[in-house]
Structure 1
Amino acid sequence: MLTYLILIGGLLGLFLGGDWLVKGASGLALRFGVAPIIVGAVVVGFGTSTPELLVSLQAALGGQPGIAIGNVIGSNIANILLVLGTAALIGPLVLTFADVRKDLLWMTGAVLFLPYAFWSGEVSHVEGLVLIGALAVYLFISLKGSRGEVDDIDAPTSLWIGGGLTILGLVTVMVGAHYLVQSASIIARQFGVSEAMIGLSIVAIGTSLPELATTVMAAIRGERDIALGNIVGSNIFNILAILGITAVVTPIPVDARFLNVDTPVVIGITLLLLALVYFVGRMNRLVGGGMLVAYVAYIALTAGL
């Protein structure tokens, strides 16, 4: 009974924290004259990727490179298909290419770097440094080019209130995700689910729960820039920062299946998202439902490999 209560508490923490994080990030955007899409990409997107960073570092240092690599690729796939798909089901997302062009192109470039990084069978120290250097350039360009771009959004303009809500929301989301993953794993074992499937489904999806909670709350509140920016920023961070930092700490061996199966999938859906924003500029409930079906199909395929 206690495990189920922890599960419910984790879910509650995710959605309350997601709401506070969106409000606080919007307030910071107003306070500093930074575009909400940049706050969504940098503050919210990077902040909610912290669980992925911790998981990948622990896995690589613990001699489990498959988890470290799979966590990065799996989270990017979940962010696009599961998180954006869910947000689109809640309400159609209007996506203006001009507003997210730079960030989408950086995300696409980061994903297209993966085959090169994986080709030798190891992500080396040097490649890790290249990824971290690219992240520094991205942050510099984003923050430099975003001054003075402010949307009319309903959010606190006080620095202390905005910053406090952002920090409180981020901590609450992370704690909620931790206890949700922990309790769900216990429940899964009680029902005889294998350890492999627990890692594949609960842990992989669990590290994307902060993005899911934050993006869903952003969609409900109508903060579309933060909803998309959170996903774009998180995916950029997953590759440039998480893979980069982990490779700098210790080289990461890459299983051939990541190069042959999962990397083409993440490249394909990233290019699909880019085309969707550029040519259509809208993500309706039908598209959102299709993305969720595609994610279930990917999980089923992965489970069978």
Structure 2
Amino acid sequence: MQTTRGSTPRRGISLDYLYIVIGLIGLFFGGEALVRGSVNIARRLSISPLIIGLTVVGFGTSTPELLVSVQAALRGVPDIAIGNIIGSNIANILLIAGLTCLVWPIRVKAAALRRDLGFMAASALLLVPLFTSGEIARLAGLILVAGLTGYLVWTFKMSRQDAVEVQSTDVQSSIGISLLLVAFGLAALVFGGHFIVNGAVSVARSFGVSEAFIGLTIVAVGTSLPELATSIIAAFRRQSDIAIGNIIGSNIFNVLGILGVTALIAPIPVIARFLTFDLPVMIGASGVLIGLLLTRPQIGRGVGAKMLLGYGIYVFAAQ
């Protein structure tokens, strides 16, 4: 809708900034509640916080990506569906892991992550033949969802090997209260991300930023804001397992769950740029993260700063 210069556009822009502020508040409190509730559940059930981070937290914070990609498929805009998934995975590693390292160095035992990192790498590489075919059909979507189901079953079967001892002095909430915290946290993250994306897209359009650039950056990063908030809150609370598990779990769920479900709803055509540019960046970033986690006792602030620089270069090159 065209508008003339005057008070109406200013009020619209002011409302957009208010949406962004509301979204940030929702992300902060949602991330805090999700991390606190998840850690309490892990302790109550003698389950490793890493397992909780990989599943409940990682998959839960990917809800915005699921909603955006499914809606994009139903509306006949497949580029947004795929771009959201690939862009979110790149942002999860380079942007979110980088910022998390700046807050507090990531310290996770490599042995506990080996199988999950392998699964993340396999799911990323699986996209190469799917993208090469030019379309992700319903059969491919079924295979992806089946892979996610197998991963979940295997993860929970192995969780007892990663069990932690419960210390009653550390447990401050019942299972019921913890579940309510997790539910509230997920809801606040979803609504917070929704407000921020809507506000940021409107502000960007008011400054004449192209639709393609909005999709690549604001939509992908916006739907990853729950992961960002959760990982940073976890870093402040010195919960490295939750922080890195959230990133790895989200990346696995984005490919196998979100892309799989979206393809089941409607086959997704794949344009050439995803295969030749964005997917190689995602695979390369995944390889860097895997190498760092398996070869270093911790990922410090210097590496985090380099990750952020790498993300900035990617966004610039992707324009």
Report the TM range for the smaller structure's normalisation. Answer: over 0.9
Contact 1:72/1:238 (8 A) holds in 2: yes
Question: Is residue 223 from structure 1 mapped to residue 239 from structure 2 by the alignment?
Answer: yes
- Residues 234 and 151 (structure 1), Cα distance of their counterparts in 2 relative to 1, 3 Å cut: farther
Contact 2:84/2:216 (8 A) holds in 1: no
Contact 1:156/1:162 (8 A) holds in 2: no
Q: % of aligned pairs identical?
A: 50
d(CA) in 2 for partners of 1:3, 1:269: 33
1:149 to 160, 163, 176: 163
Q: How many residues were matched structurally?
A: 303
d(CA) in 2 for partners of 1:124, 1:2: 41
Q: CA deviation at 1:152?
A: 6.4
d(CA) in 2 for partners of 1:156, 1:111: 39
d(CA) in 2 for partners of 1:156, 1:76: 34
Question: Is residue 279 from structure 1 mapped to residue 295 from structure 2 by the alignment?
Answer: yes
- Residues 145 and 185 (structure 1), Cα distance of their counterparts in 2 relative to 1, 3 Å cut: same
Which amino acid in 2 is paired with 1:288?
Answer: G
Secondary structure, counterpart of 2:318 in structure 1: helix
Identify the range of structure 1 (215-224 vs 183-192) with the bigger mean alpha-carbon deviation: 183-192
CA RMSD of aligned residues (A): 1.4
Question: Is residue 181 from structure 1 mapped to residue 194 from structure 2 by the alignment?
Answer: no
Question: Is residue 167 from structure 1 mapped to residue 190 from structure 2 by the alignment?
Answer: no
Question: Is residue 201 from structure 1 mapped to residue 214 from structure 2 by the alignment?
Answer: no
| Corresponding residue for residue 261 of structure 1 | 277
> Unmatched 5+ residue regions in structure 1?
none
| Corresponding residue for residue 304 of structure 2 | 288
1:93 to 106, 122, 129: 106
d(CA) in 2 for partners of 1:115, 1:97: 27
Contact 1:36/1:151 (8 A) holds in 2: no
In our comparison, the structure showing a higher alpha carbon Rg is 2
d(CA) in 2 for partners of 1:103, 1:206: 25
Secondary structure, counterpart of 2:186 in structure 1: helix
CA offsets per residue over residues 129-164 of structure 1, 9 Å max, x none? 111111111000111111370266855441111101
d(CA) in 2 for partners of 1:184, 1:213: 17
Secondary structure, counterpart of 1:146 in structure 2: helix
- Residues 141 and 250 (structure 1), Cα distance of their counterparts in 2 relative to 1, 3 Å cut: same
Q: CA deviation at 1:287?
A: 0.3
Which amino acid in 2 is paired with 1:211?
Answer: E
CA offsets per residue over residues 202-234 of structure 1, 9 Å max, x none? 111100000000000000001100000000000
Contact 1:107/1:236 (8 A) holds in 2: yes
Normalised to the residue count of structure 2, the TM-score between the two structures is 0.92
What pairs up with 1:10-49 in 2 under 5 angstroms? 10-49=23-62
- Residues 155 and 75 (structure 1), Cα distance of their counterparts in 2 relative to 1, 3 Å cut: farther
d(CA) in 2 for partners of 1:266, 1:247: 20
Question: Is residue 70 from structure 1 mapped to residue 83 from structure 2 by the alignment?
Answer: yes
- Residues 152 and 269 (structure 1), Cα distance of their counterparts in 2 relative to 1, 3 Å cut: farther
- Residues 152 and 292 (structure 1), Cα distance of their counterparts in 2 relative to 1, 3 Å cut: farther
Structure 1 segments of 4+ aligned residues over 3 angstroms from their partners: 151-157
Identify the range of structure 1 (3-12 vs 239-248) with the bigger mean alpha-carbon deviation: 3-12
1:140 to 144, 149, 153: 153
Q: CA deviation at 1:189?
A: 2.2
CA offsets per residue over residues 34-61 of structure 1, 9 Å max, x none? 2110110100000000111111111112
2:131 to 102, 110, 118: 118
Secondary structure, counterpart of 2:209 in structure 1: coil
Normalised to the residue count of structure 1, the TM-score between the two structures is 0.96
Which amino acid in 2 is paired with 1:136?
Answer: T
d(CA) in 2 for partners of 1:178, 1:229: 23
